Amino acid sequence: MSRIGKKPVAVPAGVTLDVTGQDIKAKGSKGELSVRIHDDVLVKLEDGQIVLQPRPNAPFSAKIWPTMRTLVSNIVVGVTEGFTKKLEIHGVGLRGNMQGNTLVMQLGFSHEVRYDVPEGVTVEVADQTKITVSGIDKQKVGQAAANIREFKKPEPYKGKGIRYADEFIMRKEGKKK
């Protein structure tokens, strides 16, 4: 039995849930999200909590059950609190700023790097080296942050590039004379 799958998903005040068959829609102060649950997982709304259980005699259900519970938990957290990822730009001359709905970055290339922010995600640049990606959909926020980081990953010798705020870069020793 899965320890994650056994936990019911609590529904906080201010969130309305609509369970229709295998579809779950959550509506809260930040917005509205929905998720489709795999057919091998049973969904019930009991006492203000969503309980997921594996379907008996379905071999795949024990494997997908905790994942589905986490997806339901993510939409509930998303419509109440939202998700954020913080990125930092390290290096001399490396910087970024917002121009409308486009993140424009100077990353040491001969050209500017432009990233069009996807719908449902907001990007803020505090001072030219700190980027905050936020939104209600955890997958979209994580993917947008990963796409931004992909333009210039941190290199191991000096640590220059775009990294997550809590990321540790294992540094290598340079050449010796």
Whole-prediction pTM: 0.90
* pLDDT confidence bin for 1, thresholds 50/70/90: low
| pLDDT tops 70 at residue 91 | yes
Helical axes 61-80 vs 138-150, angle rounded to 10°? 90
Distance in angstroms (rounded) separating the CA atoms of residues 120 and 140: 8
Strands 32-36 and 41-46: unpaired
Name the residue type at position 89: I
> Which parts of 17-165 fold into alpha helices (H)?
61-80, 138-150
What are the chain's domains? 3-80 (3.90.930.12), 83-164 (3.90.930.12)
Residue, of 59 and 105, whose pLDDT is higher: 105
The pLDDT of residue 174 is: 87
Residue 177 has pLDDT above 90, yes or no: no
**Mean pLDDT on 30-49:** 92
Average pLDDT, the chain: 93
Listed in sequence order, the residues at least 6 apart from 52 whose beta carbon sits closer than 8 Å to its beta carbon are 5, 9, 37, 41, 42, 43, 44, 65, 68, 69, 72
- Could you give the C-alpha distances from 70 to 52, 90, 132, in angstroms and in order? 10, 33, 24
What is the C-alpha separation between 41 and 21, in angstroms, rounded?
11
Mean pLDDT of 73-100: 95
